[in-house]
């Protein structure tokens, strides 16, 4: 079982900032910005390359949670970056689809 699945199930520590039956969000342990939250589906999907047609609603749900978290964190007006790496060559370290919500600083 991957580390993100373990965090979702409460078997590994993580500073969870949001969780429902489909999505979990937690702070990155090695933040690259003042706000750095990982948003993951509770269902294990290795990466975007492994998404199936039945996952379409879930992907939209991830984006809605990102929007809500940006508001909660106070970065919706100043702006934020959303990153998804797909595969090792793109920098994906954990093989569980996830979005990086980054904000709280000005990107030049």
CA distance 1 to 30: 21
Which residue among 36, 96, 98, 100 is the active-site one?
Answer: 98
**Helix/strand/coil for 22:** coil
| Backbone φ/ψ region at 91: left (φ over 0), alpha (ψ -120 to 50), beta | left
98 is catalytic: yes
E strand or H helix that includes residue 6: helix 3-8
Active site residues: 98
């Amino acid at each position: 079982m991957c580390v993100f699945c373990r965090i979702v199930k409460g078997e590994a520590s993580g500073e969870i900032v949001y969780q429902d039956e489909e999505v979990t969000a937690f702070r990155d342990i090695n933040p690259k910005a003042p706000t750095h939250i990982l948003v993951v589906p509770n269902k294990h999907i290795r990466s975007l390359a492994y998404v199936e047609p039945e996952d379409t609603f879930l992907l939209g749900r991830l984006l809605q949670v990102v929007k809500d978290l940006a508001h909660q964190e106070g970065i919706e007006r100043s702006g934020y970056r959303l990153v998804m790496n797909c595969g090792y060559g793109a920098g994906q370290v954990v093989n569980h689809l996830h979005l990086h919500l980054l904000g709280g600083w000005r990107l030049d």
